[in-house]
Structure 1
Amino acid sequence: MVRVTDDPRHLALTLLRRIEEEGAFANLVVPSMLDRSSLSRSDRAMVTDLVYGTTRLRRACDALVDRHITSPPDAATRRILRLGAYQWGWGGVPAHAAVHETVALAPRRVRGFVNAVLRRTVEGAPPSDIIWPSAASQLSVPDWIFDLYVAEVGQDQAVASLERMNVPPAPVVRDDGYVQDQASTWVADAVDAQPGERILDMCAAPGGKATAIAAKGATVVAADLRPQRAGLIADNAQRLGYGSDHLSVVAADGSSPPFTPGQFDAVLLDAPCSGLGALRRRPDSRWRVQPSDIKVLGALQQSLIDAATALVKPGGRFTYSVCTINGSESIDHHVPEGWEVDRSQPPGEWQPFGSGWRVLPHEADTDGMVLMRYRRTT
């Protein structure tokens, strides 16, 4: 078990190493290690900001310090430099503190190098005034993500969306105390659940949408592929007071679901996706997801759509959503014959997008998402 230090910057550096070298997910490893520490509330917030911020702005931090480097440092030294650059450039830490506290983290053999590079960095122009190598480096995303956004929404909208996803999200707390992105609450509302209906949430973990639907008085079956993730749904349902008579949880493969065809009044499929609209909540995903993943995910999404639509009664409803903004994971998919598009305006600040609806991150300070709704006619 990794020893948890009570020095917030040292813990932040340890977490950055686990994310970069071990492939740990920031949204899982950060709270897990903080729970095992004895840090104060303010220091816990500091660690979260340092880890999430440095991870989001990895490429921008590199560009900031690389102006003062002639030979590329090793990965561990690079990580320390990023942490120092983030504190000064975006974290609001005074220059002398950012340098001094970061140099203290460096091994003796590279301490002089780290000190020299960071001192030159803070003596130079701040991030707002430097000439960046590219827009993608300034926005701290891989070139392919920047290009995809520009192709989907144009240069101005792309920059605005990617800028917003470099700012920590404001928490939205539902009436029942559950914390959820605002766009996700709109997706749950778009299902239009009615009391007494039987509704399937096919890829439901961690259970935010399923519990929101259950709150409307519907009987919900919440399914997810992995038993561990299904357990998260059960934990959240229990915490919010939903018994199995209102919300039952099933570990099941959505591509071949263990349900009788035509038994649900509505099915929600919040499908696995690239997550390109949720980069601020999942700071490491921008460095993890690859262009080839889009095609693989598209095929998976189509198989889930085919399976989900077979489970809906005639006259019933199918709602599809993804936390990305590209058409290849949303409006480019086909729905089997016997369905019609529901073109009515869904709840929330959605904009028309092909046969569905889309919200970009900067438009309403939410995740970027696409929503589509259909009604079964036969």
Structure 2
Amino acid sequence: MTDQEHKAGAQSDAQPQKAENVPGLPARRLAATLIDEVLKARLALDETYERLAPSFGLDAADAALARAIAITAFRRLGTIQHAINARLERGSPRNSGPFEPILVAAAAQILFLDVPDHAAVDLAIRHLHEDARSSRYVSLGNALLRRLARERDAILGEALDPFLDTPEWLGESWIARYGAETAAAIAVTHRDEPPLDISVKDDVEGWAERLGGLLLPTGSIRLRERESITGLPGFDKGAWWVQDAAAALPVRLLAPKPGERIADLCAAPGGKTAQIAASGAHVTAVDRSGPRLRRLKANLERLGLAAEIVTQDAVAWQEKGGDALSFDAVLLDAPCSATGTIRRHPDVAWTKTPEDRDKLVALQARLLESAGRLVRPGGRLVYCTCSLEPEEGEQQVATFLSENPGFARAAVTSDEIGGLTEAIDDQGDLRTLPHQLRGETPRLSGYAGFYASRLVRL
């Protein structure tokens, strides 16, 4: 924007201060609020949505639209910010209240969503008028958004840098670990809408046919269409549950057997617990979060599966139980930076920092030591994280093995994971990457970034 346009932006257009009944505006209010809250507080979008959405009183369609706007904004935040900043000569005005998140939400609609430009611009302008700080810049916002709409093709055509929507520290980390070409492929894949996968208790081929889904080589089913999950055949009967194809692999490596005693540490939300229980093993699900375990319990009840549920920190639980706690196998899905889930949860890229990762590394080490003490001689331990960072995966296991000579790695074989040899690293561990597992379309391709290592107590 030129200086003249910027000055004009400080003059408020004549609009009502509040427009409660304008269709679509409440959804935009929630979307902008979510964007603002997540970036300021560095909290997860899903948790922020669950906390804030009820107070907006939206119907299901408007609530879904608000969430879609926010998710799209985070998925393409780098492109959106670059487009806005390139057209504001003097930068975003100071003390402008919700000006920036409102513009980001509107830009997400204009550039990436199937929303008429005039609706996105008009509702954003009405929204700007509702706050005295942002209302001074209505003309500036109006001119900027209309320019984004006019120049949309050029903006998208110029967004060639594969790392434009990736924070610098993450791009550098992935280049150092995977090389520039693979790192770029990961970053580009994160721009796509993620697939939706399910795990079934039995008759996987039959359910793939009934649901019209794709049977993946890993044994998961990938749904072709985006539909209401609860309305699909088999949901009410507890035949299946939603679980990313990569997230289902660690239990395949654990290979639970009927009658075995297995501990699932940091178990919530419970997809892996369900897999273990469906195998006929006796599973103890441990997690310190009561609310998350309540969801786990509700899901098990829907599925008709059983587990012993322990609401406690896994380290404290192991220390209290001592030698009395001994299991045939232990699964530790450790808390992590979750950078392997950025495609499904794009806010992760903008809410996590290297410092967050490093704090989690220390926690993971303590949890892994405790998990090892729970494994009986000859038993199995699978450590996994939904992180792309080697500090939380490969390096964590290397340190554990160097300090615990009573454990050895049991290498993953390709037949255990549907022949996906590209997902096995040089050490014999599982390392899935978002751009792997190519399908018919971008949305039917890829899976989460996961690391898993299988260890055996000697």
TM-score normalised per structure 1: 0.89
Instruction: Write 1 or 2 for the structure with the bigger share of helix.
Output: 2
Match of 2:156 among 112, 128, 132: 128
Q: Which letter does structure 2 place at the counterpart of 1:353?
A: D
Match of 1:167 among 192, 202, 205: 192
Q: Which residue of 1 aligns with 2:346?
A: 283
Match of 1:64 among 74, 77, 83: 83
Deviation of residue 247 (structure 1)?
0.3
Q: Which residue of 2 aligns with 1:232?
A: 295
Q: Which residue of 1 aligns with 2:70?
A: 51
> 2 CA distance for matches of 1:75 and 1:366?
38
> 2 CA distance for matches of 1:238 and 1:23?
33
Q: In 2 relative to 1, CA 273–24 (structure 1 residues): closer, same or farther, beyond 3 Å?
A: closer
Structure 1 position 347 matched with structure 2 position 417: yes
Q: Which residue of 2 aligns with 1:375?
A: 456
8 Å contact 1:6–1:39 — kept in the other structure?
no
Deviation of residue 223 (structure 1)?
0.4
Deviation of residue 249 (structure 1)?
0.8
Q: In 2 relative to 1, CA 173–41 (structure 1 residues): closer, same or farther, beyond 3 Å?
A: farther
8 Å contact 1:202–1:254 — kept in the other structure?
yes
Match of 2:99 among 77, 81, 105: 77
Match of 2:430 among 338, 353, 357: 357
> 1 CA distance for matches of 2:425 and 2:337?
18
Q: CA RMSD in A?
A: 2.4
TM-superposition CA deviations, 1:105-143 (whole Å, max 9, x none): 2123222111011112222253331266x653x2x2210
Structure 1 position 253 matched with structure 2 position 313: yes
Q: Which residue of 1 aligns with 2:374?
A: 311
Q: Which letter does structure 2 place at the counterpart of 1:369?
A: F
TM-superposition CA deviations, 1:340-376 (whole Å, max 9, x none): 2111313253622243120101113211011100111
8 Å contact 2:25–2:123 — kept in the other structure?
no
Match of 1:191 among 247, 254, 273: 254
8 Å contact 1:331–1:354 — kept in the other structure?
no
Write the mapping of 1:2-151 to structure 2, written as runs, cut at 5 A. 7-31=26-50, 33-34=52-53, 39=58, 41-71=60-90, 72-73=92-93, 74=96, 76-107=98-129, 108-126=135-153, 127-130=155-158, 135-136=162-163, 138=164, 140-151=165-176
Deviation of residue 241 (structure 1)?
2.2
Match of 2:356 among 293, 297, 304: 293
> 2 CA distance for matches of 1:26 and 1:210?
25
Counterpart secondary structure, 1:129: helix
> 1 CA distance for matches of 2:159 and 2:44?
32
Q: Which letter does structure 1 place at the counterpart of 2:194?
A: P
Deviation of residue 30 (structure 1)?
2.4
Deviation of residue 39 (structure 1)?
4.6
Q: In 2 relative to 1, CA 182–32 (structure 1 residues): closer, same or farther, beyond 3 Å?
A: farther
Percent identity (aligned): 29
> 2 CA distance for matches of 1:326 and 1:24?
20
Q: Which residue of 2 aligns with 1:220?
A: 283
Q: Which letter does structure 1 place at the counterpart of 2:341?
A: A
Q: Which letter does structure 2 place at the counterpart of 1:235?
A: A
Counterpart secondary structure, 2:378: strand
Counterpart secondary structure, 2:329: strand
TM-superposition CA deviations, 1:46-102 (whole Å, max 9, x none): 222101111232222110111110222346211111112111211133433332332
Q: In 2 relative to 1, CA 159–347 (structure 1 residues): closer, same or farther, beyond 3 Å?
A: same
Q: Which runs of 5+ in 1 are unaligned?
A: none
> 2 CA distance for matches of 1:131 and 1:239?
45
Q: In 2 relative to 1, CA 314–240 (structure 1 residues): closer, same or farther, beyond 3 Å?
A: same
Q: Which letter does structure 2 place at the counterpart of 1:113?
A: L
8 Å contact 1:54–1:82 — kept in the other structure?
yes
Q: In 2 relative to 1, CA 43–177 (structure 1 residues): closer, same or farther, beyond 3 Å?
A: farther
Q: Which letter does structure 2 place at the counterpart of 1:60?
A: T
8 Å contact 2:261–2:328 — kept in the other structure?
yes
> 2 CA distance for matches of 1:187 and 1:75?
46
> 2 CA distance for matches of 1:359 and 1:276?
12
Deviation of residue 213 (structure 1)?
0.8
Deviation of residue 272 (structure 1)?
0.9
TM-superposition CA deviations, 1:125-170 (whole Å, max 9, x none): 53331266x653x2x2210011111111122211221222222322
Deviation of residue 199 (structure 1)?
0.3
Report the count of equivalent residues: 369
Q: Which runs of 5+ in 2 are unaligned?
A: 1-19, 130-134, 201-238, 438-445
> 1 CA distance for matches of 2:340 and 2:44?
17
Deviation of residue 290 (structure 1)?
1.0
> 2 CA distance for matches of 1:81 and 1:332?
41
Deviation of residue 7 (structure 1)?
3.0
> 1 CA distance for matches of 2:103 and 2:56?
25
Q: In 2 relative to 1, CA 292–354 (structure 1 residues): closer, same or farther, beyond 3 Å?
A: farther
8 Å contact 2:246–2:447 — kept in the other structure?
yes
Q: In 2 relative to 1, CA 328–54 (structure 1 residues): closer, same or farther, beyond 3 Å?
A: same
> 2 CA distance for matches of 1:112 and 1:359?
48
Q: Which letter does structure 1 place at the counterpart of 2:73?
A: T
Counterpart secondary structure, 1:69: coil
8 Å contact 2:111–2:152 — kept in the other structure?
no
Q: Which residue of 1 aligns with 2:211?
A: none
Match of 1:323 among 368, 386, 395: 386
Q: Which letter does structure 1 place at the counterpart of 2:406?
A: G
TM-score normalised per structure 2: 0.75
Deviation of residue 44 (structure 1)?
3.6
> 2 CA distance for matches of 1:320 and 1:53?
32
Counterpart secondary structure, 1:222: strand
